[in-house]
Structure 1
């Protein structure tokens, strides 16, 4: 595999890549099969102008164990500069503080796109890579996301605050519930890694630390679930 390419695995991730990138995909390989689902995907690839190849299942097995009969190759995802001064009056930015699990990363990307985040921000170091596992966990949503990978998350948070953005850290020890905050203006929501949560320097950059209401005996949530619930609360307030 060419190191300048990224590998996309599975039906939904490839379908979304075709929808967004079409003919700019390097190639799409679909298993030689009579499966109606795979035949429909092959037709869609042709309609979108992508270079289509058909291959036996054994050939696709070289790329992944669970490929659902299709893989695609594409250019690396575009990275965008984080410019807080350009954010609009109802901007929503999701920042991830050293989230290292690719499955969580992908699931969060999916929720962020579905719930209207304008961009996803994370630090270059100590973070999950944009890997085939991440693409698959996002169910193709990563193709629609504005991605901002920054050298320093704390510097990015400082810049956001200076631009008048409300920086909210999600923390189970937060002083107030997220829903009690006014979330209608520009918001940057920071989610920490499972286990360690937000780092102290990140907490210090937040304008407020907020928690999600919990009723049962379990005191914490999976990072991707917490992110989704928080994004939904912001969307609900703005409806």
Structure 2
């Protein structure tokens, strides 16, 4: 059965919502007039004083819907009951969308990053910041295996997460196979690859896979790749931090050899 246009539009809207939790992160969101907020969620057990009062007042001044929940319900919304401090807010991120929906709209020369098990929130945030600043059209982010998009990621991204082109999926291997079958070249970074990242010129759409900080690219993702690329190293250095690698990829297409 085909989904109705109204349903697809509603689903696309909720795909673009990022739920931020924690009292200070939520206060910072409300203090930023550039961020569009959908709803503020509060635990009904919160005391109406201090930062909670400030959050309520800011939400009221901006006309943001305030919803009260018991602690269990709020923990389902924040997905982090231990650290949400009874507060969460839905922020609209215009460039977020489902990876499958984005595939047909990507430009013919699209350059993408794919995140395969980036577990350190600081690394994830810095990767997002570099991709948003550089020559990257989308970031394939799998909810399974990567660090959650929480306050530490937002801080490390310097707030660029809210406007970064995240392409969301549940698991990366299946999505990469879908992209590969649609003609997108899948490249991994490998120290023993003969072709340099800086010499490679994609013939069309291309996705560069960034692997886990310790284990690198997973076996399942490696099977989807058609090309390996290396970064030239000197002085016995074997590898770079994954966030540094992301920065090099983001600007490689703009660099003169």
TM-score of the superposition, structure 2-length normalised?
0.66
Residue 85 of structure 1 is matched in structure 2 by 104
SS, match of residue 221 in structure 1: coil
| Range moving further from structure 2, 155-164 or 145-154 | 145-154
Report how far residue 87 of structure 1 moved. 1.6
Residue 148 of structure 2 is matched in structure 1 by 129
1:110 aligns with 2:124: no
Q: Which one of 200, 212, 220 corresponds to residue 239 of structure 2?
A: 220
| Distance verdict in 2 for CA 1:233–1:222, change over 3 Å | same
Find the aligned partners of 2:127 and 2:31 in 1 and give their Cα distance: 17
Report how far residue 15 of structure 1 moved. 9.1
Find the aligned partners of 2:32 and 2:238 in 1 and give their Cα distance: 37
Report how far residue 235 of structure 1 moved. 3.4
Residue 75 of structure 1 is matched in structure 2 by 90
| Distance verdict in 2 for CA 1:131–1:7, change over 3 Å | same
Give runs of ≥4 in structure 1 deviating > 4 Å.
13-17, 23-27, 48-51, 76-79
Find the aligned partners of 1:124 and 1:95 in 2 and give their Cα distance: 12
Assess if the C-alpha contact under 8 Å between 2:35 and 2:91 holds in 1.
Answer: no
Residue 7 of structure 1 is matched in structure 2 by 21
Structure 2: gaps (5+ residues): 1-17, 42-49, 52-57, 65-82
Residue 193 of structure 1 is matched in structure 2 by 212
Q: Deviations over 1:37-71 (max 9, x none)?
A: xxxxxxxx99x9577xxxxxxxxxxx89xxxxxxx
SS, match of residue 19 in structure 1: coil
1:154 aligns with 2:173: yes
TM-score of the superposition, structure 1-length normalised?
0.71
SS, match of residue 153 in structure 2: helix
SS, match of residue 246 in structure 2: helix
Find the aligned partners of 1:80 and 1:25 in 2 and give their Cα distance: 19
Matched residue pairs, number? 211
Alignment of 1:203-214 (within 5 A): 203-214=222-233
Report how far residue 88 of structure 1 moved. 1.1
SS, match of residue 234 in structure 2: coil
